[in-house]
Chain A
Amino acid sequence: MTGFLRLLAAERLKLSKSFIWLLVPISPLVSLAIGLLVSLDNVDGTWKYGSYAILASSMASFHAMLFLPILTGIFTAFVCRYEHGGGGWKMLLALPVSRTALFFAKFTVVASLILVTQLLFLAAVVYSAHYQGIDGAIPWRMLLTGVGGGFLACLPLAALQLLVSVGWSSFAAPLAINVALTVPNMLVINSATYGPFYPWAQPMLAMLWYSDQDFGGFSLPLENIFMTVAGSFALFLAAGLIYFNRKEI
């Protein structure tokens, strides 16, 4: 455990002076722009999910469908980038560190970056609601479930991307794979057959708050999302750990 914390401290230092932090606020800012510009005039105020859900869902559409899965891939490729340049893995693994601890340290950094992105997104939603003049108490429960669910749904993607990024010394190749698997979201999300089981679609399914529209993957309950997320997470994480522990450096 102490080994893991030390590795984490070292990873933090490596990222502290890099431009990765500039990528974190991009998606929340785009979402904020949508939130400020979207028109809520036609919304039926008596509808049970209220204006808040409409606002948050329109803001989340791009963020959860495209940005979040793609950012997960970028963050993951980024934390492996320095090690791939000039024998960094050799140096790091010739130190007294366990590979499992290193894998988890990298994973934790990625997860933290996603979490910060999600919190900024939450702030953007709250600010937009204020700007749009939506009355009433902030529905924290609904918002946190969505933001938290989106975060959890990214973890299997992070685990898989970490596996790919560790194995592939290229920076761009894992990203290309990730984008190629994210883009079909636009179609998959509408499918009741594949949507619930497609890992890249889960962040969106978790973050669109109103399950009023009974089409495609949206008709499924939250439990279903968690089954897919937990299952794929366990699978990808186990594969990543086994691969990394056996890899010849």
Chain B
Amino acid sequence: MSEWVIETKGLSKRYRGRYAVSNLNLKIAKGDIYGFLGPNGAGKTTTIRMLLGLIKPTNGSVHVFGRPLHKERLKVLRKVGSLVEYPSYYGHLSAIDNLEAIRRILDAPAARIGEVLDIVGLAKEARRPVKGYSLGMKQRLGIASALLGNPELLVLDEPTNGLDPSGIQEIRELIKQMPKQHGITVLISSHLLNEVELTAGTVGIIRHGELVFQDTIERLQRQAKSQISLVVSEPEQAAAMMREQGLNVRLSEPGILLEDASDPAIAGVVKRLVERSHGVYRVEEKRKSLEQLYLQIVGEGGRP
């Protein structure tokens, strides 16, 4: 039994000579929320379809719960709940009947329908035909369907697509409680960084079908490190002084940029500048936002 809930090796999918997904090595740990990040068309949905056995990989392998997916698809899928792209529903049926149709296939206990409706907060609306639901309610119904079989792994493809901010918030809270309260491992794909930043523990970033980053969200945040910008009256002299003290300094309009400086070092610099009668106009922290870092990763494709 492997320690990874999902592990892919060299996973590739080729369409008419072009690789939509190429040589993907995903590793998703048990109990984690894995954010699968990338711009539209980067290969997220193609990857997820391969993880669910909806399409066959051109090359490479998928192991879920340590089992080879192509050989034990039914056994694996029994423990997986999924929501791919759009929530699917039968509009003329109520939420309860929609869930009942899936329950019959999964052979889940009848009481489970009430449970999942409670989890997603749809219990009150459950008897109305689904075609009258708002997009957020349909999305919640989709998640309820995914939870119906008591899965150990939840695969959600763009679950907040098309939702308004409060809907996004709701779904986010819902996803966050999955590992804690239900012991479920979650794979969530998104093209929005802050979406993933707020929910995921681990991030995989895909670009043009290739995985360009895979690590914890903290590691990603650390790479978006801060700089201190100083705006002073005589920048060149001030910069020379700071270099003498062994600081990593760079002149850049309108001031000086200090990298990797500790708090005492900055305090020392300011004190010395004041002592030497420099005018200190501004001392500010310039944080390269995660968003910029993400755009950089996705844009250049290189490891930052």
Contact = CB atoms under 8 A, between A and B. Distances in A.
Interface of A: 2-3, 6-7, 9-10, 13-14, 17-18, 82-83, 85-88, 90-98, 248-249
A91 B92 contact: no
Contacts of B80: 94
A40 B55 CA distance: 60
Interface of chain A: mostly helix, strand, loop or mixed: helix
9 contacts: A86-B88, A91-B82, A92-B105, A93-B52, A96-B73, A96-B78, A98-B74, A248-B55, A249-B49
Interface in B44-89: 49, 52-56, 73-75, 77-78, 80, 82-89
A74 to B, nearest CB: 17
Give 7 nearest A-B pairs by CB, closest first. A91-B88, A96-B77, A249-B54, A96-B78, A9-B104, A88-B88, A10-B104
B136 to A, nearest CB: 15
A97 B105 contact: yes
Given A94-B52, A248-B55, A10 B88 contact: no
A95 B92 contact: no
Interface residues of B, number: 35
Contacts, number: 83
Contacts of A13: 93, 97, 100-101, 104
Contact of A95 (B49, B93, B100, B106): B106
Contacts of A90: 49, 52, 54, 84-85, 88
A6 B105 contact: yes
B174 interface: no
A186 B128 CA distance: 47
Interface of B: 49, 52-56, 73-75, 77-78, 80, 82-93, 97, 100-102, 104-107, 145, 149, 155
Nearest to B80: A94
A17 B92 contact: yes
A116 to B, nearest CB: 20
Most B CB within 10 A of own CB, among A2, A18, A90, A92: A90
Nearest to B54: A249
A134 to B, nearest CB: 43
Given A90-B49, A249-B49, A95 B102 contact: yes
A237 to B, nearest CB: 22
Nearest to A105: B105
A96 B74 CA distance: 5
Given A87-B84, A95-B77, A249-B55, A7 B105 contact: yes
B97 A17 contact: yes
Contact of B105 (A18, A85, A95, A249): A95
B39 to A, nearest CB: 21
Nearest to B74: A96
A91 B145 contact: yes
A17 B56 CA distance: 35
